[in-house]
């Protein structure tokens, strides 16, 4: 159900600082809401996002219930070599949404 989008340049110069934009479809159900029958809707959010480059973590973020649906996170990374970014969003129930993106440095 959850769909992740990544945007980053396909090529970069060695040592360049690039911007990575990420967007993941997620309801980010806060646990504070009630359904039409008045019962609390259980919390289900993405509580953690990480980004690794060639196996080494370059960014992580802890997300809280106040973050809106479809969290959009952008950040900057200095790239020294070609490789693969691996993104992972962890949901409250332990499910992990994954996405990858390539970059060529040269």
Partner 1 sequence: MHTSKRSIIHAVRSGAVMSALAGLALAGLPDSAAAKEAKFEKVPMTTEGSAGPTPWERYKGWNKATWDTYNSLTERKRTPPPPGEGQVRKIATPIEGNAENGKKLAFDRSRGGGCLACHVMGPETAELPGNVGVDLSEVGAAGHDDTYLFNYIWDPRAYNPESVMPPWGAHGFYTEEEVRDMVAFLKTLKTPAVFKNALDDPEKRPIPVEDRDWQDPFVNPAAEAFDTGKDVFAKAGANGKSCASCHEDANALKGWAVGMPKWHAGMKKVIGIEEFVARHAKATMDTDMLMQSADNITLSVYLRSLSNGMPIKVDTESKQAKAIMKEAETLMTTKVGQLNFACVDCHSPEKGALKWIRGQYLGESAGQIPHFPVWRTSRNETWDIRKRLQWCNVQVRANELPPDAPEYGVLEYYLTAQSNGMEMESPGIRH
Q: How many residues does the chain have?
A: 106
How would you classify the pairing of strands 46-53 and 83-91?
Answer: antiparallel
CB of 23 to partner 1, least distance (A): 6
Rounded CA separation 59/69 (Å)? 21
Identify the residue among 47, 50, 52, 70 touching partner 1 (CB under 8 A): 70
Q: Name the nearest CA neighbour of 90 among 46, 28, 42.
A: 46
Among 39, 62, 68, 93, binds partner 1 (CB under 8 A): 68
The yes or no reply on residue 7 touching partner 1 (CB under 8 A) is yes
**Binding flags for partner 1, 9-28, as an x/- string (CB under 8 A):** ------------x-x-x---
Strands 4-7 and 11-12: unpaired
User: Shortest distance, CB of residue 69 to partner 1, whole angstroms?
Assistant: 7
């Amino acid at each position: 159900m959850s769909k992740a989008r990544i945007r980053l340049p396909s090529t970069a110069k060695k040592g360049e600082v690039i911007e990575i934009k990420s967007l993941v479809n997620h309801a980010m159900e806060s646990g504070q809401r009630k359904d039409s029958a008045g019962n609390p809707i259980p919390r289900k959010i993405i509580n953690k996002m990480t980004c690794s480059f060639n196996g080494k973590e370059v960014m992580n973020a802890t997300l809280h219930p106040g973050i809106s649906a479809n969290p959009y996170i952008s950040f900057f990374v200095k790239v020294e070599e070609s490789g693969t970014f691996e993104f992972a969003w962890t949901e409250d129930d332990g499910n992990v949404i994954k996405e990858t993106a390539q970059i060529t440095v040269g």
